[in-house]
Amino acid sequence: MRIAFFTSAFPVRSETFIATQIAGLLDRGHSVDIYTNVVRDSAELHSDFARYGLMQRTRRRRSVYGAPLKARLRARLRVLRTCGRRHPGLVLCCLDVFRFGRRALTLDILDLAVHFLDRPAYDIVHCHFGPNGDDAAILEELGLLRGKLVVTFHLYDLQLGIRTNGRAYRRLIRAADAVHSISEFNRGWLESFGFPAARIHHQPMGIRLPPAPAKRAAGPGVTVVTVARLAPVKGIDVALAAIAEVLRRRPRLRLRYRVIGGGPLAPALAQRARELGLGGVVEFCGPQDQAAVREALAEADLFLLPSLAEALPIAIMEAMAHGLPVVATDVGGVAELVQDGVTGALVPPGDAAALAQALLDLLDREQDWPRLGAAARERIAQRHDAEKLSDRLVEHYAALLSGTPPMASAARFATAG
């Protein structure tokens, strides 16, 4: 199959699941082109980016993205002058404000369209994040893109739908051939937006399973790890308060808390850690590549994710695959990964006291960590092994192309494990 992937930026460390999905398709002999607004520099590379030559497969789909408004308008006016002489009919379509609203006035639709002149036809156009799906739907409407349109929703795009009561996706509700729900939490919201249930397919993200973890040596200290972007939604300030409470109640505990990830709150969180007296306890490691993250997980005892909102976090999958008991907040689809008392503990979001108590309970049950960790790894192996999910994805694409009735296809792929 010839497949086009649409994403907002590529590659992105926090979106390794996209590169993993593409690599799985390439391994199975399919052709993939990647269209993105932003091509990241080498500091952001996922390990598969070089291994599979993904840079050579990646194309920008806009002239200027993220620049100041005046710079964007200047670039788009140049596009207008050039395209107006060669493709006047297309220009008129792209300037139709009744059809495209404000995006027509800012020449955004024209800037998008001009990058898809003479593009090949595809069997599948797979978009990650709803707004990218909307772009693909517009291109198909303009006759510049062909292929079955598949859209995977995650978190920020789901929240956009929630804020607008689904209005943001009116075009996509009509145009998408299939919508991928990565969790039952997402599925419920997608149905509420107006996507027909028969076109919503359960296709969670997956990871490559690491080697089975070695038996952890008992030691005098405990290492807790968080892997997350340092942004408000991740609740790292709540985790710091919980760690401080644990140490207040267990002053002799030798605890190391490693936070892996970068983001806008890095300076403020470092300051907060100092205010809480955690200067010698918390280590802010900054953003790390996948190999470094896996090494940190292999050396850890417990994993902590205190998010205020999630869809289905890859960070938890990676931790569970390394055999770590997980303490997490019960938000979004997290409960579809973490089973309270079986693979770790779930607590309400934003509750530092509950987070601290869950950590203390696990510290009192160190003898149970191997059992909890083994159950965690098994759950990921059963539900989120990238190899199994790649096979399922290819079967789903084939069903779309063969015209399998939507309900039969939905039933076939909506297995939660």
Indicate whether 196 belongs to any domain. yes
Does residue 400 sit in the same domain as residue 367?
no
Buried b (16+ CB within 10 A) or exposed e, 261-285: bbbebbeebbebbeebebeebbbbb
| Residues linked to residue 238 through DSSP beta bridges, in sequence order | none
- Over residues 3-42, the pLDDT tens digits come to 999 999 888 877 889 999 999 999 999 999 999 998 876 5
Does residue 370 sit in the same domain as residue 288?
yes
Confidence of residue 63 (pLDDT cuts 50, 70, 90): confident
CA dist 98 and 96 (Å) reads 6
pLDDT of residue 39: 82
CA dist 86 and 331 (Å) reads 51
> Which phi and psi (to 5°) does residue 73 adopt?
-65, -40
Query: Looking only at Cα atoms, what is the longest distance across the chain?
Result: 76
Indicate whether 88 belongs to any domain. no
pLDDT of residue 219: 67
Does residue 376 sit in the same domain as residue 394?
no
On the question of pLDDT at 415 being above 80, the answer is no
Confidence of residue 46 (pLDDT cuts 50, 70, 90): low
| DSSP labels, 202-232 | E----BPPPPPPPPPPP-SEEEEEEE--SSG
Indicate whether 83 belongs to any domain. no
Residues 6+ apart with CB under 8 A from 267: none
- Over residues 154-189, the pLDDT tens digits come to 999 999 999 999 999 999 999 999 999 999 999 999
- Over residues 320-332, the pLDDT tens digits come to 999 999 999 999 9
Does residue 253 sit in the same domain as residue 399?
no
On the question of pLDDT at 65 being above 80, the answer is no
Please identify which residue in the block is written with the tokens 């039933």.
411
On the question of pLDDT at 96 being above 60, the answer is yes
What CATH number is associated with residue 335?
A: 3.40.50.2000
Q: To the nearest whole number, what is the mean pLDDT of the chain?
A: 90
Does residue 36 sit in the same domain as residue 185?
yes
For the chain, percent of residues with pLDDT exceeding 90: 73
Does residue 257 sit in the same domain as residue 155?
no
- Over residues 234-270, the pLDDT tens digits come to 999 999 999 999 999 999 999 999 999 999 999 999 9
For the chain, percent of residues with pLDDT exceeding 70: 93
On the question of pLDDT at 138 being above 50, the answer is yes
pLDDT of residue 314: 94
> Which phi and psi (to 5°) does residue 256 adopt?
-120, 125
Confidence of residue 218 (pLDDT cuts 50, 70, 90): low
Does residue 155 sit in the same domain as residue 271?
no
HSE value, Cβ hemisphere, 13 Å, CA-based, for 75:
16
pLDDT of residue 413: 37
| Residues linked to residue 9 through DSSP beta bridges, in sequence order | 38
Does residue 377 sit in the same domain as residue 398?
no
Tokens of 382: 């059963």
Edge-to-edge strand order for the sheet containing 31-39?
58-60, 31-39, 2-10, 124-128, 148-153, 178-181, 200-202
**Which tops the pLDDT comparison, 253 or 115?**
253
> Which phi and psi (to 5°) does residue 57 adopt?
-95, 0
Helix axes 386-402, 406-413, angle to 10 degrees: 170
Contacts of the segment 134-138: beta carbons below 8 A, 24+ positions apart: 134/168, 134/169, 134/171, 134/172, 135/6, 135/61, 136/4, 136/6, 137/171, 137/172, 137/174, 137/175, 137/176, 138/100, 138/109, 138/112, 138/113, 138/171
Confidence of residue 336 (pLDDT cuts 50, 70, 90): very high
Count of structural domains, the chain = 2
HSE value, Cβ hemisphere, 13 Å, CA-based, for 391:
5
Tokens of 357: 């108590």
CA dist 4 and 8 (Å) reads 13
* CA distances to 15, 224, 283, 356 from 245, in Å: 32, 14, 17, 6
HSE value, Cβ hemisphere, 13 Å, CA-based, for 178:
29
* CA distances to 110, 186, 313, 381 from 154, in Å: 27, 8, 10, 21
- Over residues 369-408, the pLDDT tens digits come to 999 999 999 999 999 999 999 999 999 999 999 987 544 4
Per-residue H/E/C for 281-300: CEEEEECCCHHHHHHHHHHC
pLDDT of residue 217: 67
Task: For 138-220, list the strands marked E by DSSP.
Answer: 148-153, 178-181, 200-202
**Which tops the pLDDT comparison, 416 or 59?**
59
Which residue range is the domain that position 27 belongs to?
A: 2-61+115-207+387-413
Does residue 394 sit in the same domain as residue 351?
no
Closest residue by Cα to residue 175 from 110, 125, 121: 125
pLDDT of residue 411: 40
Confidence of residue 123 (pLDDT cuts 50, 70, 90): very high
